[in-house]
Structure 1
Amino acid sequence: MAHVDDVMAWRESFDQLLDCKMGQLVFENFLRTEYSDENLLFWLACEDYKKITSMAEMTEAAKGIYAEFVQVDAPRQINIDCGTREEISENISHPGPNCFDRAQRLIRGLMENDCYPRFLKSETYQALLEQAARR
């Protein structure tokens, strides 16, 4: 179960929430109830993508991220503007380490400014706070 300091820290900043494995899981469950967990899953996939050093693996991972989240009618299509979507489409055959940076920034902003405040007010988070405080 989440430690009270962790749960409290999630209120301090969106980074604190994203930096914590438990926070990611709780936030993902919350987003799932809002039918928007693709945002966090995309963001996490991009974080993993940036750690890839092999060009072959990068190309493979980029195609996977593109198929899963970016292309029109993707199973977990993220909400990004068509300019960003087109830019990724053009670069996907030769993806670089920063291939998804713009889209990732947009999605992070969406989560931080829209989903995160709702998460902090949610029953899910409030219940965790109470549970953690009782320990």
Structure 2
Amino acid sequence: MLAAIADVMAWGESLDQLLECKTGQLVFENFLKTEYSEENLSFWLACENYKKITSEAEMTDAANGIYAEFVRVDALRQINIDCVTREEISRNLSQPGPDCFDSAQRLIYSLMENDCYPRFLKSEIYQALQEQAEQAMKAT
């Protein structure tokens, strides 16, 4: 229980703290769903997993999958990035490396950090969890 309390309190410190915690990711994703912007987190997480791939064949498959799901102009879960970044990724797909999506991932992180995350901290979802954590801390 104490770890969960510490986690909830840490989520308010930075987006990084929130994203480092699996539970934090889930809570943030639920919040983003209410704002119809969960594709941002999904894309960011897909990029984090992509960077861990060591096989060239797997990297190519994963890069094409991420492109089709999030980057392509007609993608179902299209992320909000500028056309220059979108074109850069398209060019990178011919020989995708670990940094293929870095510029787009930085843009999406910045969008989450400056737009979604501050709203998350003010949301009923987070406020309720924070209140529970504070009450639990007082009880211990």
TM-score (norm 1): 0.96
Percent of aligned pairs with the same amino acid? 79
In the alignment, which residue of structure 2 is the partner of 1:127? 128
Q: Give runs of aligned pairs for residues 1-135 of structure 1, distance below 5 A.
A: 3-135=4-136
Residue by residue, what CA displacement relative to the aligned partner does 1:35-58 show, whole Å, maximum 9, x if unpaired? 000000000000000000000000
Moved more, 7-16 or 53-62: 7-16
Stretches of structure 2 that go unaligned for 5 or more consecutive residues are none
> How large is the RMSD of aligned CA atoms in angstroms?
1.2
Tell me the matched-pair count: 135
| Distance in 2, Cα, partners of 1:71 & 1:21 | 28
Stretches of structure 1 that go unaligned for 5 or more consecutive residues are none
| Distance in 1, Cα, partners of 2:131 & 2:37 | 25
Runs of 4+ aligned residues of structure 1 deviating over 4 Å after TM superposition are none
Q: Give the aligned residue type for 2:108.
A: I
